[in-house]
Amino acid sequence: MSLANSNYGWIDQGRDFRTTRWSVVLLARQDQSVQGEQALEQLCRSYWYPIYSFIRRQGHDSPRAQDLTQGFFAKVLEKKYLSDADAARGKFRSFLLASVKHYLSNEWDYITRLKRGGGNPLLSLDEEAAEGRYQAEPASHETPDKLYDRRWVEALLELVLTRLRSEIAGQGHEKRFDQLKIFLVDEKGAVSFSEIATRLGMTEAAVKGVVRRMRKRFRELFREEIAHTVASPEQIDEEIRSLIALMAR
């Protein structure tokens, strides 16, 4: 997936920003509201693989990385770390990375207690699939931080594509989406409009029109998902620029 040459546009910032996930978590971190707990769990489910890949790149083998990942999110979901979340800084991406670094340097004993029955995992993770995905990573000399950022963007794009696919499938066009999603995430020129039009039995003009609408909705959903990970609407565009810059390096 590529972000380097994309234009993600704008979404109306006049909507009620307080309903986004990370801002809800920050507002609720003192009283442990059900809404805040649910928002935090959803964020953790969405972005746990970047943490797993970060831990693996730190040199931990698969079993230990799985234990550390599960233990870390158990800690986060118990809200042990939320008192350190600063709404003024506010990015969930930055908070999670800083937290796991702190955790790795201080919390191995917690893993031992968790495995010995001191508590049940609070987040169900597909660790086997995660390790297979990690093993398929291309060889590189990226730092753990850099790998984390890249996997974060990929997780974000997967969320957006899943939401868009669900919307289009609900309209009865699931197969069409599977053919046209290449125009959303791949480099320009990977496939021609005429080729896809032939596959779908549509005119080239019709395909271009559908892709134009898909791209618009993709930009909207992309922005919405980023909004869920920052603490204020002013940070949305900053985070978009940061993520695009990360993927362009």
Distance CA 80, CA 74 (A): 9
Longest dimension (CA), the chain: 62
| Every domain of the chain and the residues it spans | 17-248
Tell me the pLDDT band of 209, cut-offs 50, 70 and 90.
Answer: very high
Cβ neighbours around 26 below 10 Å, total: 22
pLDDT of residue 36: 82
- Per residue in 23-45, pLDDT tens? 888 776 666 678 888 888 889 88
Sign of CA dihedral 63, 68, 69, 74: positive
Q: Regarding predicted confidence, which is higher, 124 or 40?
A: 40
Tell me the pLDDT band of 217, cut-offs 50, 70 and 90.
Answer: very high
- Residues ≥6 apart with Cβ < 8 Å to 86: none
Average pLDDT over residues 180-191: 80
What's 162's DSSP letter? H
Amino acid sitting at position 212: R
pLDDT of residue 30: 61
Distance CA 29, CA 23 (A): 10
Distance CA 227, CA 222 (A): 9
Distance CA 244, CA 223 (A): 13
Mean model confidence pLDDT for the chain: 81
pLDDT of residue 3: 46
Amino acid sitting at position 192: S
Beta carbons of 75 and 107 less than 8 angstroms apart: yes
Q: Which of 1-5, 77-81, 145-149, 232-236 has the lowest mean pLDDT?
A: 1-5
Average pLDDT over residues 132-144: 80
pLDDT of residue 213: 96
Distance CA 59, CA 210 (A): 45
Beta carbons of 194 and 182 less than 8 angstroms apart: no
Distance CA 85, CA 83 (A): 6
Q: Regarding predicted confidence, which is higher, 200 or 39?
A: 200
